[in-house]
Amino acid sequence: MNRLLLIGLLLLTHVTFADDGYRLWLKYDRLTDATVRSGYARSAQFIAVTGSSPVLTAATSELQLGLQGLLGTAVPVIASAGTRQGGIILTVGVSGADANGLNEEGYRIVKRQGNILVMGKTDVGVLYGTFALLRQLQTSQSLDNINLVSSPKVKLRMLNHWDNPNGTIERGYAGGSLWKWSELPETIDPRYKDYARANASLGINGTVVNNVNASARMLTGEYLQKVAALAGVMRPYGIKVYLSVYFAAPKTLGGLKTSDPLDPEVRKWWADKTAEIHRYIPDFGGFLVKANSEGEPGPQDYGRTHVDGANMLAAAMKPFPGVVIWRAFVYKADPKADRFKAAYEEFTPFDGQFDPKVIVQVKNGPIDFQPREPFSPLFGAMPKTPLGIEFQLTQEYLGFATHLVYEAPLFKECLESDTYAAGKGSTVAKVVDGSLHGYSQTLMAGVANTGSDRNWTGNPLAQANWYAFGRLAWDHTLTSAAIADEWINMTLTHQPQAVSHVRSMLLRSRDIYVDYNAPLGLSRPWTGVHFAPEPWQNKSPRPDWTAVYYHRADSIGLGFDRTATGSNALAQYRPEVRRQWENASTCPLPYLLWFHHVPWTKQLATGRTLWDELCTRFYTGADSVRWLQQEWTLAKPAIGPALYTDVAGRLATQQREAIWWRDAWVLYLQEFAKKSIPAPFKQPEQTLDDVKKSVDIYLLR
């Protein structure tokens, strides 16, 4: 009886600690290859640390944790290596030749005199080097002649959380907020530390804890205590905390008559508030501001400019090292305008007028995180103003946490786009990392896809987007495939065939989604249900929140004419870029409908007419989700059962919803094209009215 009870308890323990995705890519499971494990063990007989600080303590603890898990044995920490060999030495404050190629956060890992040295100019560099060393072990890389030197290419690498004080997340698809505001500051959820560890492992060094549609509540003393508690958890991992601020706070919170940025009382209020924040959080990172956008208050409410508003906050921040990040996501409700052009028109006239503490944060594309967008014309157009880039990890227009979309190819597509701002090779990446224009402040931000779900991101495979963002923020030259291989090996499996299947899924997933959702440059930032197919949506408080504003389907054709005969948005790009896109006959198909209103009968480079090509994309895209399912099934033997089942269910939902999107688009556009579905594809079984009713369900209260 006792034996049966023991077996039951062991089984229960196994279930309790089954791989549920919580550990992310920091899975330090015992290496199964005994030869590899013993080789690593010979190089990790002890840990010695030169220097002391909370950051070095965090690095040492992480190294101990990782080595014990991977090797299956505890590795002691000793005071000094002396003449001993076969250990790992963490050394801060390196100089001379060892410091070559390192900035303040960089690291060097080298095998020397029988030991592995992890070195940095600062303790945070050693922390990043420690995680890099563990990554080598997790991905079964040799340590025999290790010689790694790496420094981040971008200075500020941060997540933007759109979390609200009430515990919800705007565009959050993985549960509620990570931050338990009602319990802070007294209760510190262990999850906060694990969040910090995960970010530090990627080199992410900043987090904006609240929504850009900000609440003034975050600036009260009560909430600053809570934010300070979070900052205390993040600090040993090299992460600074930032706040999104409500521009009208001097009026709504401070009781002033105005929030005019040129009013002396308003300026004093912000200076005093900034000083107060630093009393709670001495290493406060700075402010993120969404102003005069989508109804948010801002300086234009008082006849002032973005420069007036940003520079006022920069003046308040002047005594401190933090920055002001001013979002360029602005557009007016003008039925005659092209939202594509708005940010460029509003910000380029102010180039060179922003305070040096201000960074203008620009979305990767000109509209709003679409499945595929051309790069924003602002990149390369403001050489005197630091421009940061904003990507969206949370899949607002990429199928939420249901559809598989690996975003590294999307990030790379933008970063590798050539602006020609200083001739050929002037990529967006070179704008963002400061090398093109000499920006001293550089920034890459990602709108976080984390939430309170046990696995952090809802869809376990969406963890790859968090991982990819962090790795590219550190080094934008990494390839999507290399990042995918790292993540799969660290998170899912080392089994080569399974790695190959999952890698193929990830690398093809974005193009599959685009084909059934927004092929050939269709864009779809409309309101209403938001996640559902509504190409017919034409009623909204403002025209640019409708579907018809963007696709412009009519009896002649489809697409938004942004050439000189239309909105002329193409004029915002350099001539070399314009020439790629201004001719409908030579425009690359991924951007065709972004820039041209194309006749249904026009023959494309594929040899098919626009109508036939659209149908082909919609149908093959939806059909390709079945291929994703097949690849996942082939990987099943090497994947944890709980995680496998979770993803398999989401892929089944994706397959059903891909057909939903396909049918909505095809049936709607067919009413304009007046053409039959080309062979071998068949007419959808449902009618357009059927599809509309299926969407209307989500509008019911």
The residues that are catalytic are: 294, 368, 396
DSSP secondary structure letter of residue 545: G
Write the burial class of residue 520 (CB in 10 Å: 0-12 exposed, 13-18 middle, 19+ buried).
buried
Structure tokens at 103: 């900035």
Helix (H) or strand (E) holding 302: none
Integer Cα distance of 557 and 611 in angstroms: 9
**Distance between CA atoms of 164 and 19, rounded to whole angstroms?**
30
Strand order of the sheet with strand 88-92?
A: 77-78, 47-50, 88-92, 115-120, 107-112, 147-150
Give me the sign of the Cα torsion angle 523, 525, 526, 532: positive
Cis amide prior to 680 (ω within 30 degrees): yes
CA-derived radius of gyration, the chain: 26
Query: Token pair 């008082």 is at which residue?
Result: 302
> For residues 415 and 427, is the Cβ–Cβ distance under 8 A?
yes
The pairing of strands 107-112 and 557-558 is unpaired
End-to-end CA, the chain: 55
Q: Which residues contact 650 (CB under 8 A, 6 or more apart)?
A: 401, 402, 403, 404, 459
Question: At 551, which amino acid appears?
Answer: H
165 within 8 A of 215, measured Cβ to Cβ: yes
Residues 659 and 681: their CA atoms lie apart, in Å, by 13
Do residues 336 and 304 touch, judged by C-beta distance below 8 A? no
Q: How far apart are CA 625 and CA 522, in angstroms?
A: 20
Q: How far apart are CA 443 and CA 20, in angstroms?
A: 33
DSSP, residue by residue, 263-312? -HHHHHHHHHHHHHHHHH-TT--EEEE--SSTT---GGGGT--HHHHHHH
Task: Specify whether the CB–CB gap between 346 and 305 falls below 8 A.
Answer: no
